Structure 1
Amino acid sequence: MSFLARWCARHRLIVLGGWVGAVAVLVGLVLGMGSDFKTVADLPHSESTHAYEVLGASSGSSAETGRIVWHTTGVAVDAPEIRADVGAMLTRVASLPGVTAVTSPYTAGGSAQLSTSQDTAYATVTVTGDVDRVQQVARSIGTSQLRVETGGQAFAPKTKSGGLAEVVGILAALAVLLVAFRSAWAAVLPIITGVVGVVASLLFVMVGSHVVDLSSESITMGSLIGLGVGIDYALFIVDRHRKALMAGASVREAVEQAENTNGRAVIFAGLTVIAALLAMVVVGMGVLTGMGQAAAVTVLFTVLAAVTLLPALLSCLGLRVLSRRQRRQLAAGGAAPGAPEVRHRRSPARRWGAFVTRVPGPMAVLALVLLAALAVPALSMRVGQADAGSDPAGSASRQYFELMSPAFGEGIDATLLLVAETPDPGAAQALGTLVGNLSSVPDVAAVSPATAAGTGVQVVRVTPSSSAGAQATVGLVDHLRTSVIPAAEAGSQLRVSVGGETATNIDVAHALMSKLPLYLLLVAALGFLLLTVAFRSLLVPLVGAVSNLATIVVGLGVITAVFQWGWASRLLGVGDGAPISYIVPVMIVGVMSGLSMDYQVFLVSRIREEWTHSQDNARSIRTGVAETAKVIATAAVIMLCVFSSFGFSGQRIVACIGVGLALAVVVDAFVVRMVLVPAVLRLIGGRVWAYPRWAERVTPRLSVEGPPQAREAAQPARVLTTVGSVGAGEL
């Protein structure tokens, strides 16, 4: 690290030019090649995927079906003038590019799409391309008597990346940095470094989408995670650089010391985040694997920016990264005013560290009680599909739902496909008996006649009474699969699979949640091993792994209360309470496990640094808290600003991940790292650093806090201050 720091500081123009050139090349590639994001349909094997296989249709087909619904006021929905206007509109829709089929309720085959009692009707539209023109044509006939809305899979709102959320988050982070550093240059450096790293990484991901299957949501996830960690990583290095300057080091010496200490910690923390994100592959779903890979690339670029671009910028700015008061202190009194012992002797952080180490038992209990209270909602978390009925009031999808559900039931968009294999007449007869019995099954609103879908294959459409996101619909699918269908199949060659979008979402949610414990154990084990190598201790990694799991569960509890129970979902503009999307818990586990490890590394590395110097458990904890509390708190508030800004994106999944990460980070920093971990380490005592001899022999050497000479160089004023104080006492 020393060589890298010296080289970047000495050749700062080359480093700056290299980053500018790299970004320019990536911009050129994106402008020339564009991006090739696609829907990744690598679904886990389940009954619904088998249904698709039997039908011979890919679940990732580009053809999608939507509905155009209309409701009349003061005139019958089947009045001649309404038929004429709607018929002309549907003819225009059918002629649009990408529209492959339109089924009108005014035809013999579409009679079930007409509800004269509610003066509501709908047409089904199958489309393979852009749907904006379809929506424009459909809504063009709307009048005071005729209300037209669109909905269904084809017209579902698309996730958008970029925009106001990131800008608001960055501005809020800048304000926090200005308050913390009292220097405009020091405040803007983490922003510049983080943004450059994120921009370069997202451009790289866009180019990489031509090689690796990635969904468009990868950009949003990458920017959400990258902005937070990128700004924080640069913050840790800038903070250590400023401390070295105040301790009397030259600019280049300070750059080297910051890289040798916090720079090492940044690399280590970044590797833990990357490992956790790449471990998403065990979940076995392509869309999440792609998101994890894209986010891991973003973290890698932000780490590279922090350890190369930032040293070059620090070398260019010199003492301007200090506040005016600090520069006056250096000019007037040299290094002594900035010495750690002088700076932290009466600081709130040092007093807090002393308080926690004085009463560690009660503080640990208090922290555990608070964590448990925040985590309790996670016990009732339900993973599933949020339907249009939970979308924000006034949104197009919600208005569509409010027109459709009174006339055709809440389950109209949750249709189940019963794909039946009927190889002989006996199987066909058994299927007929099944179809006749389905209408009496609880929560079944409608059953269509069986229709041929190929040789020996028939399809039956079952409409539930409840919406796709309702627990009753999940229960219906389970009841069909475990009771109704097996009874009909008995004694025949009939084989029926329950498929369709609703069943697929249920199967995916079940498959992912069944693997979530394995993923949790994997990321905990990775964290434990990395911390063991870093700190050569068994108890420190154990405390870190357990506390990280506690933070993850808190994040899951928060999103359950906010988005499933609906405590603040309307305030965030995402509608009413609804089940949590299966993507959310996996992303929170992956990202939060890495972020929690970040703060653990920065706190414990400073505690160990002091322990190697004093061999005093209480003093090392007090000093570690005093030295890191401000920067960890600042980093957590920055994360809060960046992540929570995504909470107001208006997109349920993005808001869910952003709010969950934001509040989990705050709890992790202020409750876990500043209360629980110091209290537990104090209760364990000096034996927390014990390490078996056999493990010592096989463990690779890795120093997170830097080599001894770097640690001593980082604190030159401590020795001078101590000697000076002793001399004064003797006189």
Structure 2
Amino acid sequence: MLTNLARFAMARPRAVLVAALLLMIICGGFGATVKSHMVGGGYLTDELEAVQANDFIEDNFPGGNPNLIIMITAEGGVNSPEARAAAQRITADLSDDADVTGVRSYWTTVTERSDLATALRSKDSKRGLIMASLVGTDTEIQNRAAVLSKDLTGDYDGVQVRLGGMAGTFADINHQVEKDLLLAEAIAIPISGLLLVLVFGSLVAAALPLAVGLFAIAATLGILRALTTVMEVSIFALNMTSALGLALAIDYSLFIVSRFREEKERGRDTRAAVLRAVQTAGRTVVFSGLTVALALAALAVFPQPFFKSFAFAGVAVVLAAVAASVLLLPAALVLLGDRVNALDLRKPLRRVFGRGEAKPVRPEDSGWYRLVTWVMRHAAPVAIVTTALLLALGSPFLSAQFGSPDDRVIGDFASSRQVGDALREEFNADMASSAVVVLPEFQGTTADIAAYAVALSKVPDVPAVLSSDGVYVNGTKMAAGIPEMAGPTGTYLSVGTTLPPSSVAGKEQLAALRAVPAPGAVLFGGATALDADTMATVVDRLPVAIALIAVITLILLFLFTGSVVLPLKALLLNLFSVTATFGAMIWIFQDGHLSSVLGFTPTGTIDLFMPILMFCLAFGVSMDYEVFLLSRVREEWLASDRGRDANTRSVAMGVARTGRIFTAAASLMAVVLLAVATSEVAAMKLFGIGLALAVIADATVIRGLLAPALMRLMSTGNWWAPKPLAALHKRIGLEEEPMEEPTAATKFEKAPAVG
């Protein structure tokens, strides 16, 4: 297949490149508006109890569980004429908005129910709240919140207006993610170009991976926009899949272009060199891309749109990067030929510094060969020390505390973050974190509701419980109830809290509330319940996802190598690499080390969605490098006498031939990922820094130390498989002919035809 693809591209290179350019323009244009069609999170599903509770309230008691909070601050106090005038204007505008329901504020409550007004007023009486619910789909709610934030947020005659709540938070995140994507690409593309020039020397050779990377970005936008027409796609997929597409496209192109130049140096003509590069590096690119894509596909077992976004978009983006590498590069390389080395910037630099022409270094004389040879002479100590180091780095993960993200994922410049901080610090109860307790089709008496509210109000850290019967504090009825909280379809209660939803104390409080005997069927909603229900669904599916990734990896690597030992070794090494990365992420983002340097707010928990996503991506990328290394080691092994010494030499030669390219590839991918980490959204920092560390550790510690040490210890056993499996691999495995030394007569037609 690869041979045919390469020949197709080389036979009509200009048509292939023009078609790619047109496709790039179409995808870029189609995907330009993708942000406005994405959802700001994608963590919730309809089967969650907390979502059903919220839906019940919205359907039967509009505005009963507000998702929009507007905070008005006045130095003269909430009862000053300026604050009251601003509140009346905003309340009137919201009440006239067809997309807004259940508008209530401190200023209306203080006249109608002064006993409830204190919940909507800050402790110093300088801030007051207006609460409401936006209706519609998640996308419609976030887009409407963004418009309201733009129209309302600001400072007016000594009055400060800020918009927050869940709707405001996700609107701010959407806006910030879009800005961050432009900044990340503005950083990653020029720095990647500079690094590619340093790797290749030639401006022309360096431009090829960058061009394929730009194609991948345009394809990503088009793919994401197409997906939004059939499913909800998380806004976080915008930055993450763009970074993944750019990084993989550059990496894959780097390997193919490097192999082409290597084959040219070995004496092959242009067409034979292109074909050989596709048959070797291209074959590995396809296989490694398949591994990454299938690792991401495992995310589809989770019901949340967040994961499904990456499952479908990630697979499509990886396949686009692979297709671009094995189709566009052969077309470009056959047109360029020897000109791929044109505009070599190293020559003028050598003249400036009085350096002579660089002489080619044999793999056996390289620093990588010497390092790996030393490692394999001390294989056991190196393996033990390296393993202990990786496990020590991963140890903080044992104390991980997971939670769902809130407004603190974004910086305090955001309106929603300012509202959230004020609610947590300056009000008697965090109105955004209140629990709602729904009793659908309740047929009991008022006394039943009163008894239930009394019991709920006695749970620690519950400042008050509001019901249709009364307002209860510590078991005592403090005021009359709110009749609108009951109806023919059922009733609901609002339970205040002073605890963060994702905290351990918040989860314990929810468990205590659920343990209170209810006078009928009950549904718990609110921020803490949403957090707990989401965690439960993710944890339930996690073993299935991990098992799928492990089985798929083992099967693919067996087909690639014909060994049952090497796939197990690769699985083990990847787990070590991912464990060390996760430990570092807990130390940084959960425990808050380096928070002042990196510019984020530690919350004592870590977003559960990110480690799972990072596990799949880090596992896929690590396997990506494993496949490239094993490809060259196996190539040397197949050309050897396959003895014990041959195994050692094959490993050393494989690392020596790929070490420089690995270093470059890891550096380039790290640049792209660290560019993502410049985001003002904490989740994106976690993603960028975490994956960058995984890539760097994998390309250095794992590939340079632990992998060679283990392959030396296992010796020829690396290539072992039971006879039935060996026979199976011979029939269906991905075999490749041993590399032949080119002769002066080597022509395109005589190039080995495999694949």
Q: Same fold (TM over 0.5)?
A: yes
**Residue 142 (structure 1) aligned to one of 146, 150, 156:** 156
Decide whether aligned partners of structure 1 residues 557 and 537 sit closer, same or farther in structure 2, where only a CA change above 3 A counts. same
Match of 2:193 among 156, 169, 174: 174
Alignment-derived partner of residue 488 in structure 2? 455
How far did 1:555 drift?
2.7
| Matching of residue 696 in structure 1 with residue 726 in structure 2 | yes
Name which of 683, 686, 697 aligns with 2:713.
Answer: 683
Q: By how many angstroms is 1:578 displaced?
A: 4.5
Q: Match of 2:129?
A: 122
Q: 2:740 aligns to what?
A: 712
Whole-Å separation in 1 of the counterparts to 2:405 and 2:44: 21
Q: Distance in 2 between matches of 1:56 and 1:87?
A: 24
Is 1:515 the equivalent of 2:517?
A: no
Match status 1:400 vs 2:401: no
1:621-632 paired onto structure 2 within 5 Å: 621-632=651-662
Which piece of structure 1 moves more, 461-470 or 109-118?
Answer: 109-118
The AA in structure 2 aligned to 1:256 is: L
Q: Deviation of residue 66 (structure 1)?
A: 1.4
TM-score, with normalisation over the residues of structure 1? 0.88
Amino acid at match of 1:154: A
CA–CA distance in 1 between the matches of 2:672 and 2:60? Answer: 38
Listed one character per residue, the Cα deviations across residues 80-107 of structure 1 (whole Å, up to 9, x for unaligned) are: 4532343234334444564444312122
Cα deviation, residue 113, structure 1: 1.4
- 1:47 matched to 2:49: yes
What is the aligned-residue RMSD (CA, Å)?
3.1
Contact 2:122 2:427 in 1 (8 A): yes
Distance 1:6 1:327, change over 3 A: farther
Q: Secondary structure at the match of 2:496?
A: strand
CA pair 173-80 structure 1, distance change in 2 beyond 3 A: closer
- The answer to whether the 8 Å contact 1:389/1:398 transfers is yes
CA distance in 1, matches of 2:66, 2:250: 40
- Summarize the alignment of residues 104-253 of structure 1 with structure 2, pairs less than 5 Å apart: 104-107=105-108, 108-109=112-113, 111=117, 112-115=119-122, 117-128=124-135, 130-140=144-154, 142-144=156-158, 146-156=159-169, 157-159=172-174, 160-161=177-178, 162-253=181-272
Alignment match, 2:476: none
After TM superposition, the structure 1 stretch with the greater mean CA deviation from structure 2, 297-306 or 285-294, is 285-294
TM-aligned CA deviation for residue 137 of structure 1 = 4.9
Task: Tell me the CA shift for residue 430 of structure 1.
Answer: 3.5
Paired residue secondary structure (1:567): coil
CA shift digits 1:208-236 (9 cap, x unpaired): 42234433433222202111111101111
Q: 2:84 matched to which residue of 1?
A: 83
Cα pair distance change 1:52/1:397, threshold 3 Å:
closer
Which residue identity lines up with residue 725 of structure 2 in the other structure? A
The more displaced of 117-126 and 347-356 is: 117-126
- CA gap of 1:50–1:151, structure 2 versus 1, over 3 A, is closer
Q: 2:625 aligns with which of 564, 578, 599?
A: 599
1:610 is displaced (CA, Å) by: 1.0
Query: What is the CA deviation profile of residues 243-275 of structure 1, one whole-angstrom value per residue up to 9, with x for unaligned ones?
Result: 111111111111111001010000000001111
- SS of alignment partner, residue 466 of structure 1: coil
Give the 5 Å matches for 1:373-452. 373-388=392-407, 391-409=410-428, 411-421=430-440, 423-425=442-444, 429-450=447-468, 452=485
Distance 1:324 1:171, change over 3 A: closer
Retained in 2: the 8 A contact 1:243–1:338? no
Match of 1:590 among 600, 607, 616: 616
Correspondence 1:568 to 2:594? yes
Letter in 2 for 1:126: S
How far, CA to CA, are the matches of 1:278 and 1:387 in structure 2? 27
For residue 555 of structure 1, the aligned residue among 550, 559, 581 is: 581
- Paired residue total: 694
1:643 is aligned to 673
Q: Is the 8 A contact 1:375 1:558 kept in 2?
A: yes
How far the C-alpha of 1:676 sits from its partner, in A, is 0.8
Q: Is the 8 A contact 1:35 1:210 kept in 2?
A: no
Query: Partners of 2:146 and 2:608 in 1: how far apart?
Result: 28
SS of aligned partner of 1:508:
helix
The residue number in structure 2 matching 1:723 is none
The verdict on how the C-alpha distance between 1:417 and 1:97 changes in structure 2, with shifts beyond 3 A counting, is closer
Deviation at 1:597, TM superposition (A): 0.9
Does the CA contact (< 8 Å) of 2:145 and 2:168 recur in 1?
Answer: yes
SS of aligned partner of 2:173:
coil
Q: How many Å separate the matches in 2 of 1:88 and 1:586?
A: 45
Contact 2:636 2:653 (8 Å CA) reproduced: yes
- CA gap of 1:572–1:44, structure 2 versus 1, over 3 A, is farther
Q: Which residue of 1 aligns with 2:316?
A: 297
Alignment match, 2:20: 19
3-state DSSP of counterpart to 1:43: coil
Question: 1-side partners of 2:406 and 2:33: how far apart?
Answer: 39
Pair 1:41–1:58, CA change in 2 (3 A): farther
> What TM-score do you get using the length of structure 2 for normalisation?
0.85
- Give the match for residue 664 of structure 1: 694
Once the two structures are aligned, what percentage of the paired residues are identical? 29
- Structure 1 residues 376 and 438: CA distance shift in structure 2, 3 A: same
Distance 1:115 1:201 in 2: 46
Deviates more, 1:557-566 or 1:613-622: 557-566
Contact kept? 1:37, 1:209, Cα under 8 Å: yes
User: Is 1:307 matched with 2:320?
Assistant: no
Is 1:473 the counterpart of 2:506 in the alignment? yes
Cα distance in 2 between the residues matched to 1:453 and 1:58: 9
Q: In the alignment, is the contact (CA less than 8 A) between 2:403 and 2:607 conserved in 1?
A: yes
Give the direction of change, closer, same or farther, for the CA distance of 1:269–1:407 in structure 2 (3 Å limit): same
Cα distance in 2 for partners of 1:561, 1:15 equals 48
- Change in Cα spacing, 1:431 to 1:410, as seen in structure 2 (3 Å) is closer
* Structure 1 residue 166, shift from structure 2 partner: 1.8
Q: Which amino acid aligns with 2:21?
A: V
Q: Quick one: which amino acid aligns to residue 460 of structure 2?
A: P
1:613 aligns with 2:643: no
Q: Write the letter of the residue equivalent to 2:740.
A: E
Counterpart of 2:450 in structure 1: which amino acid?
A: G
1:147 is displaced (CA, Å) by 3.4
Q: Deviations over 1:112-158 (max 9, x none)?
A: 313464332111133345234533554455344x3332211121113
Contact 1:533–1:701 (CA under 8 A) maintained in structure 2: no
- In the alignment, the residues of structure 1 paired with residue 530 and residue 33 of structure 2 have an alpha-carbon distance, to the nearest angstrom, of 37
Residue 439 of structure 1 deviates from its aligned partner by 2.0
Could you give the per-residue CA deviations for residues 298-342 of structure 1, whole angstroms, max 9, x where no partner exists?
1111100000001111112212333778999xxxxxxxx9999x5
Deviation of 1:602 after TM superposition, in Å, equals: 0.7
| Contact 2:442 2:491 (C-alpha < 8 Å) held by counterparts | no
1:372 aligned residue: 391
- Determine helix, strand or coil for the equivalent of 1:204: helix
Post-superposition offset of 1:53:
6.0
8 Å CA contact 1:99–1:126 kept in 2: the answer is: yes
SS at match of 1:464: coil
Separation of aligned partners in 2, 1:424 and 1:130: 37
CA contact (8 A) 1:55 1:453 kept: no
Amino acid at match of 1:131: A
Any idea what the Cα deviations from partners look like across 1:582-601, whole Å, max 9, x if unmatched? Answer: 32022112211211111111
CA distance in 2, matches of 1:34, 1:136: 17
SS at match of 2:402: coil
In 1: Cα distance, 2:577 partner to 2:495 partner: 42
What are the within-5 Å matches in structure 2 for residues 249-288 of structure 1? 249-288=268-307
Partner of 1:724: none
